[in-house]
Amino acid sequence: MTARVVVVGSSNTDMVVPVPHIPGVGETVLGGDLIIAPGGKGANQAVAAARLGAEVVFIGAVGSDDFGQKAIKGLNADGIDTSYVKIVDGTPSGVALIMVDPSGNNSIAVSPGANSRLFPEDIELSSKVLQNARILLTQLEVPLDTVATALEFGKKMDCVTMLNPAPAPATGLPSDIISHVDVITPNEVEARALVGRDMPSEDLAKALLDLGVKIVILTLGERGALVAQQDKLVAVEPFAVSPVDTTAAGDAFSGALAVAIAEGLELIDAVRFANAAAALSVTKMGAQPSMPTRAELETFLSRHQISG
């Protein structure tokens, strides 16, 4: 089954500096050589899905600057349809400033730029591409009303709607977003922000279900993932790797999960597939450069099965 995925979201240029440790307030540290790579949660997830074999359409916005032109060229190189990428004159493309320590931990500041100019009417103009899509995948680096419109159209077109709620709004998600989400994939920090309080992972997942989401997949980093539905909670084991850069692990997970669900995998198998993609992604520097191919992922899964 061909996985047809539409991604609505952000496109950024990542500027990454390896540092000995993440600096504190007022502290300056000397780091390694600057790495400039394509990023943005939406574009990352689109690339992740495309490299794993999906037919992907990306809906987003970039500036008319060099960063924007390079972003589109990079997406096209991965076979992604960028016909619905809006080019905004007079506004810079999105940029993320990222510091990564030797353990792969990161600190990120994002300047949204053109991403903040992706409006609900842009979704309406491009909504016909959802007619043949199996999955609609969204995040929160574009305006919330744009995300809400995308999810609403996705449900009308009978897509499975997925939301990676990052960055999570401090005030939680509005009901017009929650009511149209089939699958939500927060990490623990994002889940706490969405439910408004701290609690154990299992309780966080149940609290998100109580908000009205059908399936909650709580990503737990090196502890794997927790899958929650109304009638069950299932822990999915992680894959042990040595992390180099965790910047886009969540994006690798979301893109891979979209592909696996679109291909008809059972949910737990789909999450295991996504865990493997995330594990592979943290072994390389950069966001989009770290997204594994289907061949790399299948080799990784095969070796894991053989080893145990």
Binding site members for substrate: 12-14, 40-44, 141, 251
The closest of 7, 11, 12, 126 to 57, measured between CA atoms, is 7
Among all residues, which ones are annotated catalytic?
251
Cis peptide before 167 (omega within 30 of 0): yes
Q: How far is CA 276 from CA 42, 166, 188, 237, 290, in A?
A: 20, 20, 19, 10, 13
For the annotated binding site for K(+), the residues are 245, 247, 281, 284, 286, 290
DSSP 166-197: -SPPTT---HHHHTT-SEE--BHHHHHHHHTS
For the annotated binding site, the residues are 12-14, 40-44, 141, 187, 219-224, 245, 247, 250-251, 275, 281, 284, 286, 290
Cβ atoms of residues 135 and 258 within 8 Å: yes
Dist. CA 29–CA 254, nearest whole Å = 33
DSSP 127-169: GGGGGG-SEEEE-SSS-HHHHHHHHHHHHHTTPEEEE---SPP
